[in-house]
Amino acid sequence: MTVIASASRMPEGMNLEVRNIRFELSEQLSKDWLDNDPFKTAFFNALSMTFPDGERFFIDSVRHYKDEVKDPKLKKEMSGFFGQEGMHSREHLTYNKALCDLRGYNQEKMEGRTKNMVRLGQKKMSPVGHLAATCGVEHITAIFADKVLNGWMLSEVDSQMRSLWKWHAAEELEHKSVAFDVYIDIGGNYKVRKLTLRMFTIHFLWNLLANTAYMLRKDKKLWKWSTLKSGFKFLFAKGGVLREFRADYLTYFDPDFHPWDDDNRHLLESWKAARAA
């Protein structure tokens, strides 16, 4: 009897649990919650601004192929992916509204940058291009998730804030292969996924830094020497974003890449154990 290989390459035994968790962060968001550092705080807050519309785009790009995917295991993982990303979108929308209400930022302006990027992608790219873009951005978020669960940047922040970012990070790790496995299953090719990662990385970083600068300018801290020094160190120094992410980011350009080549399930188990405790 011929055994048909599963389209899913997620490790056996994993389950994409949709955790309906809510967070109350008003006290933390009213101040520079990350190391009392304006730049670091604005950067993470700017990251949150990308999530509501970004997560919806990811869901739509994968859902487009729900009828083409026949593998029961992958179809179940797609359902878990939709549920987890939906919860992330909801909680970061709440986060963003509270932040802007408390600090006088323009939520529509900041979230609008991602909305415009999504609209442009929907207008200019095919459905397979949307899915390739989702695979690329999911790779970036999986790297971020690995770093956060390893204690990068957030080990000393308020427990509620740390809980939100670690919850989001853990679920990004759990479902990091879903969009990629769908992309391979529907015949997506290496050239397109490589090109879309490069393209969306540029747009993503531009929007992220534009919103970071906007918040710092509103707080009258953008051109302070301490802010510029902190920003340079955060982005370029040892332990900063670019050095921390570079090696993992480049693995995506291997033609044989798969998200679970980096088997970091131990981070998920540690997070689950800490959460249970």
Q: Give me the pLDDT at residue 4, please.
A: 56
**What domain range is 232 assigned to?**
30-276
Task: Note whether residue 22 is domain-resident.
Answer: no
Region of 31 on the Ramachandran plot (φ > 0 left; ψ -120 to 50 alpha; else beta)? beta
Structural domains counted in the chain: 1
Task: Note whether residue 163 is domain-resident.
Answer: yes
Asked whether residue 228 carries a pLDDT value surpassing 60, the answer given is yes
Asked whether residue 3 carries a pLDDT value surpassing 80, the answer given is no
Assessment of whether the complete model's pTM goes beyond 0.85:
yes
CA distance 28 to 20: 21
Task: Note whether residue 221 is domain-resident.
Answer: yes
Task: Note whether residue 42 is domain-resident.
Answer: yes
Task: Note whether residue 78 is domain-resident.
Answer: yes
Give the CATH number of the domain where residue 216 resides.
Answer: 1.10.620
- Measure CA of the first residue to CA of the last residue in the chain; give whole Å: 47
Region of 213 on the Ramachandran plot (φ > 0 left; ψ -120 to 50 alpha; else beta)? alpha
CA distance 176 to 134: 10
Asked whether residue 171 carries a pLDDT value surpassing 60, the answer given is yes
Task: Note whether residue 10 is domain-resident.
Answer: no
CB 105 within 8 A of CB 214: yes
Q: Give me the pLDDT at residue 122, please.
A: 85
Region of 35 on the Ramachandran plot (φ > 0 left; ψ -120 to 50 alpha; else beta)? left
Task: Note whether residue 24 is domain-resident.
Answer: no
Residue 87, both tokens: 């919860």
Asked whether residue 222 carries a pLDDT value surpassing 70, the answer given is yes
Q: At what angle do helices 190-218 and 107-124 cross, to 10 degrees?
A: 160
